[in-house]
């Protein structure tokens, strides 16, 4: 399973817009933005609601549960930094709250991944002192 090892892999770089999301990961909270005007819940972090373009929103904690929408098995690493982790499963997950997010599917057999199956978030704490990576595993 891909895991961060001794700082050899690139680490996400939080921006002012994404910082609340990454702060939540360190506490094992999957945070999403919810529009104050239309109540649309969205991921990835943005400055405006993608549904109504309002600028006011709040951060809400997601359940961490979802459904596997799609996936691909990566047998060749995108970067030499991840070469020893192949094969790994890159997944698109539809969260219970509605948004779809991409992440790794871990603790799953790359030859037997059920699309439409339930998944839940798990955390890799070995990324840095400031954040954890949200991955998904079959539920």
Question: For residue range 20-75, what is the model confidence (pLDDT) as tens digits?
Answer: 999 999 999 999 999 999 999 999 999 999 999 999 999 999 999 999 999 999 99
The pLDDT, as a whole number, for residue 7 is 56
Q: Which residues of 99-128 are buried (b: 16+ CB within 10 A; e: fewer)?
A: bebebbbbebeeeebeeeeebebbbbeebe
Percent of the chain with pLDDT over 90: 73
Omega within 30 of 0 (cis) for the link into 73: no
HSE, side-chain direction, 13 A CA sphere, residue 14: 17
Instruction: Compute the average pLDDT of residues 77-96.
Output: 88
Mean pLDDT rounded to a whole number for the chain: 91
| Bridge partners of residue 32, in order along the sequence | 60
Q: Judge whether residue 130 has pLDDT over 90.
A: no
**β-bridge pairing 88-95 and 100-105:** antiparallel
| Residue among 104, 111, 113 nearest 77 (CA) | 104
Structure tokens at 99: 């948004």
Residue partners of 113: CB distance under 8 A and separation at least 6 = 68, 71, 73, 89, 91, 105
pTM of the complete model: 0.90
């Amino acid at each position: 399973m891909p895991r961060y090892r001794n700082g050899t892999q690139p680490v996400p770089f939080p921006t002012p817009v994404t910082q609340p999301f990454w702060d939540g990961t360190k506490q094992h909270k999957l945070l999403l933005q919810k529009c104050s005007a239309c109540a649309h819940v969205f991921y990835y972090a943005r400055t405006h609601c993608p549904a109504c373009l309002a600028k006011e929103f709040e951060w809400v904690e997601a359940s961490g549960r979802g459904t596997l929408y799609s996936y691909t098995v990566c047998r060749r690493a995108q970067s030499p930094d991840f070469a020893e982790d192949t094969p790994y499963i890159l997944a698109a997950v539809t969260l219970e709250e509605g948004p779809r997010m991409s992440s790794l599917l871990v603790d799953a057999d790359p030859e037997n991944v059920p699309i439409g199956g339930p998944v839940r978030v798990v955390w890799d704490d070995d990324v840095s002192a400031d954040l954890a990576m949200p991955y998904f595993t079959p539920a």
